[in-house]
């Protein structure tokens, strides 16, 4: 039930209860009058029992309910006098009755005044008590926070020697020449020094021109998150574009950040390589007592220590990428395929979508090799990709596979059924086509094996194994 409806119901119940109580009090003199015969309407005592209802009801319920009860009891007294009274009264009775009624009204007014004073005093005492309880709660929270901060400060002093040893061990890991391992080590080190429970490093994607997570820490795979960020409409993009840090305290002083969603940003720093922003470090979840300029300084120092290692890894990766591209077709080799597939599978853990791996093999590659050179036959794959680009509006990437006779397509956003139909379309498109090799036109026999992340997307190895197995079955 809605809180407003609950309050309304309780008020109605209280009103009904009060009405019953007032009615009972108003009827009490009449009941006594009926039980005691011989003195109808208590004329002998000038109707004092009926008059007492006014001050008593006022003391219990207030002046207006008291008047209501008094009017009810007066009506009862008149009724009893009419039907059971002596028929006449002494000449002094009206004057004495007026005195009794006046005393009842004066008593009711005095009782109501005293009741209001008591209620006001009670309300003031309760209000003071509530303020005291809230103040005590606030002091307890402040005490708890100050104790945490004090423990942190004491821990900093006592753990400096251990921190130096940990930092030395972590920095040694950065020399692995693996970008994934280096970024993971940076996040792990930050978590060790700041107790960060959730964070990420974002880099610019050359294809989509959006920021994508290159490494994450503490992300829940079952929780939906943004797997790409617009560099023009996010704090991460602001930091990347301007090479300036962001801290949550800046929201108090600068309205520039009001247009951004800052719910996931506590501290965001640029990851610099050679003086230019290469990526963005974002601290998403941090204990309250750890948020300080001291923590921001630690983060800046850690990124500064990591910069020469990241620069070295980038140069190493650039050299590898130049060697990992086929000289004839320009397509990336298997090593780049494997890394790309791992990155795609990691991405779809946090955003909806599918990744499909399709292996296309030239079944008569050996026969063609007896007539043409290996380099000439590879040009079939270039022709194949050009025709696909013209006829199929699909989002995909092309790679060489383990053998010279094999080409791999990574196709995106196709489910299992869509993948099957797509492979059938490929076979129908190229089954009867002849490809030109020099001055000769040759037929090409294709065999296709595929796997989809919806069924085999646990890892890159699982998808490769599933596609190779289906390729083997198709050869038979």
pLDDT at 371: 80
pLDDT at 357: 92
| Long-range contacts, stretch 129-133, CB < 8 angstroms, 24+ apart | none
pLDDT at 300: 92
DSSP 115-137: HHHHHHHHHHHHHHHHHHHHHHH
**3 state DSSP class of 228:** coil
In the numeric block, the tokens 């990155």 are attached to: 343
Q: Are 90 and 105 in contact (CB under 8 A)?
A: no
Q: What is the CA radius of gyration of the chain?
A: 44
Q: Which domains does the chain have, with CATH numbers?
A: 3-132 (no CATH), 167-320 (3.30.450.40), 334-475 (3.30.70.270)
Q: Please state, in angstroms and rounded to a whole number, the distance separating the CA atoms of residues 66 and 73.
A: 11
pLDDT at 236: 92
pLDDT at 97: 62
Q: Please state, in angstroms and rounded to a whole number, the distance separating the CA atoms of residues 380 and 443.
A: 11
Beta-strand pair 246-247/211-217: unpaired
Q: How many CA atoms lie within 13 A of 91 on its CB side?
A: 0
* Alpha carbon distances (Å) from 417 to 60, 290, 359, 426: 79, 50, 17, 15
pLDDT at 227: 76
Q: Please state, in angstroms and rounded to a whole number, the distance separating the CA atoms of residues 459 and 224.
A: 20
Q: What is the pLDDT of residues 126-158, one digit of tens each?
A: 888 888 888 888 888 888 888 887 887 776 666
Q: What share of the chain is helix, strand, coil (3-state, %, to 5)?
A: 60, 15, 25
pLDDT at 201: 93
pLDDT at 21: 72
Structure tokens at 423: 């492979």
Structure tokens at 196: 């960060």
Q: Are 239 and 246 in contact (CB under 8 A)?
A: yes
pTM: 0.47
Tens-level pLDDT at each residue, the chain (476 residues): 555 666 667 767 776 776 777 777 777 777 776 677 666 666 666 677 777 777 777 777 777 777 777 777 777 776 766 665 555 555 555 555 666 667 777 777 777 787 888 888 888 888 888 888 888 888 888 888 888 878 877 766 666 656 777 777 787 777 777 788 889 999 999 998 888 999 999 999 877 788 988 889 988 776 767 778 888 889 999 999 999 999 998 888 777 888 888 888 999 999 998 888 999 999 999 998 889 888 999 999 999 989 988 888 887 677 566 667 787 888 888 888 888 888 888 877 777 778 899 998 888 888 888 888 888 888 888 888 888 777 666 778 888 888 888 899 998 888 888 888 888 888 887 776 777 777 777 788 888 999 988 887 668 888 999 999 998 888 76
Q: Please state, in angstroms and rounded to a whole number, the distance separating the CA atoms of residues 290 and 149.
A: 8
Of 465, 227, 439, the closest CA to residue 347 belongs to 227
Q: Please state, in angstroms and rounded to a whole number, the distance separating the CA atoms of residues 319 and 165.
A: 33
pLDDT at 112: 78
Question: Taking CA 395 as the corner, what is the angle to CA 391 and CA 401, rounded to the nearest 5 degrees?
Answer: 95
């Amino acid at each position: 039930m809605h809180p407003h409806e609950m309050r309304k119901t309780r008020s109605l119940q209280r009103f009904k209860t009060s009405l019953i109580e007032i009615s009972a009090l108003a009827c009490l003199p009449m009941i006594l009058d009926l039980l005691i015969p011989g003195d109808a309407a208590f004329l002998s005592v000038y109707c004092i029992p009926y008059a007492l209802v006014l001050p008593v009801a006022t003391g219990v319920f207030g002046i207006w309910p008291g008047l209501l009860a008094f009017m009810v009891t007066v009506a009862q007294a008149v009724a009893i006098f009419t039907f059971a009274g002596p028929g006449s009264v002494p000449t002094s009775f009206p004057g004495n009755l007026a005195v009794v009624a006046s005393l009842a009204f004066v008593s009711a007014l005095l009782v109501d005044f005293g009741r209001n004073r008591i209620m006001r005093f009670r309300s003031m005492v309760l209000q003071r008590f509530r303020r005291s309880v809230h103040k005590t709660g606030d002091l307890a929270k402040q005490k708890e926070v100050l104790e945490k901060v004090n423990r942190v400060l004491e821990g900093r002093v006592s753990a400096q020697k251990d921190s130096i040893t940990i930092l030395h061990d972590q920095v040694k890991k950065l020399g692995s020449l693996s970008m994934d391992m280096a970024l993971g080590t940076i996040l792990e080190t930050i978590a060790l020094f700041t107790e960060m429970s959730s964070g990420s490093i974002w880099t610019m994607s050359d294809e989509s021109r959006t920021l994508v997570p290159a490494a994450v820490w503490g992300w829940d795979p079952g929780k939906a998150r943004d797997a790409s960020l617009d560099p023009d409409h996010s704090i991460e993009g602001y930091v990347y574009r301007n090479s300036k840090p962001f801290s949550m305290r800046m929201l108090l002083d600068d309205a520039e950040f009001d247009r951004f969603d800052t719910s996931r940003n506590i501290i965001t720093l640029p990851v610099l390589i050679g003086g230019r922003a290469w990526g963005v470090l974002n601290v998403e979840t941090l204990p309250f007592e750890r948020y300080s300029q001291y923590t921001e300084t630690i983060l800046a120092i850690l990124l500064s220590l990591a910069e020469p290692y990241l620069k070295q890894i980038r140069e190493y990766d650039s050299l590898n990428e130049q060697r990992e591209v086929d000289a004839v077709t320009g397509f990336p080799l298997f090593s780049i395929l494997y890394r790309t597939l791992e990155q795609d599978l990691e991405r779809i853990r946090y955003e909806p979508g599918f990744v499909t791996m399709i292996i296309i093999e030239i079944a008569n590659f050996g026969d063609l090799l007896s007539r043409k050179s290996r380099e000439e036959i590879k040009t079939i794959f270039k022709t194949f990709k050009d025709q696909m680009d013209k006829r199929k509006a699909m989002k995909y990437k092309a790679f060489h596979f383990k053998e010279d006779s094999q080409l791999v397509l990574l196709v995106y956003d196709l489910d299992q059924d869509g993948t099957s139909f797509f492979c059938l379309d490929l076979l129908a498109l190229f089954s009867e086509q002849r490809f030109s090799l020099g001055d000769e036109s040759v037929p090409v026999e294709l065999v296709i094996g595929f796997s989809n992340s919806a069924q085999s997307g646990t890892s890159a190895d699982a998808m490769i194994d599933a596609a190779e197995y289906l390729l083997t079955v198709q050869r038979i």
